[in-house]
A and B are shown apart, each in its own frame.
Chain A
Amino acid sequence: MRWLKSISFGAICALATTIILAMVAILIGDVVWYGRERLTFEFITARPRMGITEGGVFPAIVGTVFLVVLMTIAVVPLGVATAVYLNEYARRDSKLVLAVRLAIQNLAGVPAIVFGLFGCGFFILFIGRGIDVAGFGGRLVFGQPCILWASLTMALLTLPTVVVATEEALRAVPQVYREAACALGATRWQVVSRIVLPQSVGGILTGAILAVSRGTGEVAPIMFTGVAYLLPYLPDKLTSQFMHLGYHIYVLATQSPNVEATRPLLYSSVLLLLILTFALNLTGILIRSRIRRRLRTG
């Protein structure tokens, strides 16, 4: 009786693992199977036509890239500086370090839609309107949804990812390097900028890549901070609205007047997004596992 019970516990755990593997396989298999046909060169380079039942997703790709580039410019310096502070400048157990860590943990848990609300209330209505009143005589320029505010909102959402990844890399730099540099008379910033940061490029890259992957697919925070349903033009300045791959999938799946006609395009959009996020995540995971190995051996 007892051996039966012990075998069944192991079996239940194995079953759970099988279920996860199966779920992932089914999801990916379904998307690849139905999406591969229409994922052509034309699909990537053409604009949507015929009420988004024909054509491609080119504007959505451009918008996503624009968004992600702006977001990276904002989030990487901030995230890296925070990680440098936590790991190089602050005393290990100070109250402030604890508070910053707590803030990062909780920031990571805030629902994406709340970031969207915040972007609307803070960036658009407070900062944007403020700029308009101060610099444009109240004319509506920055005080409306646009790619600048969407990317800053996204930057806030991905900040914990960058901080955590960078910190991990900073910790992997052996302490003796710092001590050696200090012994040679280097100041703290010289140690950080010439020794520690060059050694942690991998981790910073991982953080940036994972953040980009998140920014490519996350929809909720940009829904009312700048994304548009369908645009005849490409975004060309900070105050334009933009199309986004993830949002485009949402639109195709739920707002289409003719579900059957958009289905092939919907599937290939999902496949494209999955390929992008998987490629980004895999790169990030690979770099990270190399850092972890060094952390263990070093």
Chain B
Amino acid sequence: MKVTSPSHDSSSGPSTASPHPAAHDLLGRRSRRLEAVIEVAIRASAFGVIAALLLIFVFIGKEALPVFYSEEVRQEVDMRRLFLPLKLDGGSGFVWQPVATVPKYSLLPLFLGTLKATVVALVISVPIGIGTAVFCSEFAPQWLREIVKPVVELLAGIPSVVIGFFALMVLASWLQSAFGWGVRLNAITAGIGLSLAVIPIVFTVAEDALTAVPSSYRDGSLALGASTAQTAWRVVLPAALPGIFAACVLGFGRAFGETMIVLMASGNAATMSLDPTQSFRSFSATIAAEMAEVSRGSAHYHVLFFIGALLFVLTFLANFFGHWYVSRLRAKLQGKTR
């Protein structure tokens, strides 16, 4: 390491005799001012991060709010029409049809679609992610661990457009020929694609939680005669449960807001069905597909921002509680070992 002596940047070292005692100060007035400026800049950028999050909230909200008050927008859409059944020709129902003579903006089909894909993704990725995390922290020998972890990191690095491509071009055809579904792009295909994006998150958080469990827990259990598997199932897993739960919540947040995979592999039909073998349209994909074509200030435009605000708030809550659980687990485990 190179330690440069800080005194060399002022020419008046102790050797040069100076008439005034202040000149012995290692810093000149100018560099002291520079120091202050830099400190302000560093503080400002830290505030900038908070400001960025607030700005996102404010600017998405600003464009979403006209849904509540603008007379012009409310001629086409309001809260009732977003969430309650619409009056249609043959009775009533929920329809998302923003480009029509009478535009219909029912959010329920989009919500069901998003939920359908998220549930499929979590059903696949939670057992796989947690199982792999348990395997890595409790069963696997060191060399195997050093293979699995980088592979999961690589999986996390695969861009979602590539996963979407894979689900659309490869997975969809395989699954359709295997199960004979009538609809090629459906919630199961998209859900499997989504799970590829969610597994790394679930794995990382769960693995963190499992390794945070003190080894004294394991030693105690093994000393009482339990097998490795019994220790993992009865002792380590329960101790890490808040962290495991956090892994699921964070995975949910990721799946709920993921765009490209769903946009490419969902079929994008806004249907009102809970059948996972049917096409669907998600919140995020709706924004991605329609934002480019709306005119600024139209009702449709504001509804898209309203959907964005919903996504923001929901994922924010999921993340907040996820991280809160993680930190609570840390505190609990550390408190107990001390």
* Residues on A with beta carbons closer than 8 Å to the beta carbon of B161: 217-219, 246-247, 249-250, 273
The residue that B169 contacts in the complex, of A109, A180, A253, with Cβ under 8 A, is: A253
* Residues on B with beta carbons closer than 8 Å to the beta carbon of A9: 229, 232-233
Complex interface residues of chain B between 1 and 48 (CB less than 8 A to chain A): 1-7, 26-27, 34-35, 38-39, 41-43, 45-48
A81 interfacial by beta-carbon distance below 8 Å:
yes
B150 near A103: Cβ-Cβ < 8 Å: no
B159 near A246: Cβ-Cβ < 8 Å: yes
B154 near A110: Cβ-Cβ < 8 Å: no
The residue that B50 contacts in the complex, of A16, A30, A100, A121, with Cβ under 8 A, is: A100
* Residues on B with beta carbons closer than 8 Å to the beta carbon of A116: 287-288, 291
B318 interfacial by beta-carbon distance below 8 Å:
yes
* Residues on B with beta carbons closer than 8 Å to the beta carbon of A187: 6, 27, 35
* Residues on B with beta carbons closer than 8 Å to the beta carbon of A254: 168, 263-264
Complex interface residues of chain A between 92 and 141 (CB less than 8 A to chain B): 96, 99-100, 102-118, 120-122, 125-126
A10 near B228: Cβ-Cβ < 8 Å: yes
How big is the B interface, by class? Answer: 35 or more
B53 near A107: Cβ-Cβ < 8 Å: yes
A220 near B159: Cβ-Cβ < 8 Å: no
Candidate in B135, B151, B304, B323 with the most chain A CB atoms within 10 angstroms: B135
B128 interfacial by beta-carbon distance below 8 Å:
yes
B222 interfacial by beta-carbon distance below 8 Å:
no
* Residues on A with beta carbons closer than 8 Å to the beta carbon of B130: 16
B240 interfacial by beta-carbon distance below 8 Å:
no
B311 interfacial by beta-carbon distance below 8 Å:
yes
A24 interfacial by beta-carbon distance below 8 Å:
yes
A194 interfacial by beta-carbon distance below 8 Å:
yes
B166 interfacial by beta-carbon distance below 8 Å:
yes
Interface size of A in residues (CB-CB distance below 8 Å): 97
CA distance A224 to B46 in the complex (A): 28
If A118-B55, A213-B157 touch, does A113 touch B287 (CB 8 Å cutoff)? yes
Complex interface residues of chain B between 153 and 169 (CB less than 8 A to chain A): 153-155, 157-166, 168-169
The residue that B56 contacts in the complex, of A3, A17, A118, A266, with Cβ under 8 A, is: A118
CA distance A103 to B319 in the complex (A): 11
B332 interfacial by beta-carbon distance below 8 Å:
no
CA distance A96 to B47 in the complex (A): 9
Minimum CB–CB distance for B332 against chain A, Å: 19
Minimal Cβ-Cβ distance residue in B for A249: B161
B84 interfacial by beta-carbon distance below 8 Å:
no
If A85-B43, A118-B55, A273-B159 touch, does A13 touch B170 (CB 8 Å cutoff)? no
A85 near B148: Cβ-Cβ < 8 Å: no
A42-50, A51-59, A235-243, A277-285 - interface stretch: A277-285
* Residues on A with beta carbons closer than 8 Å to the beta carbon of B42: 81, 84-85, 89
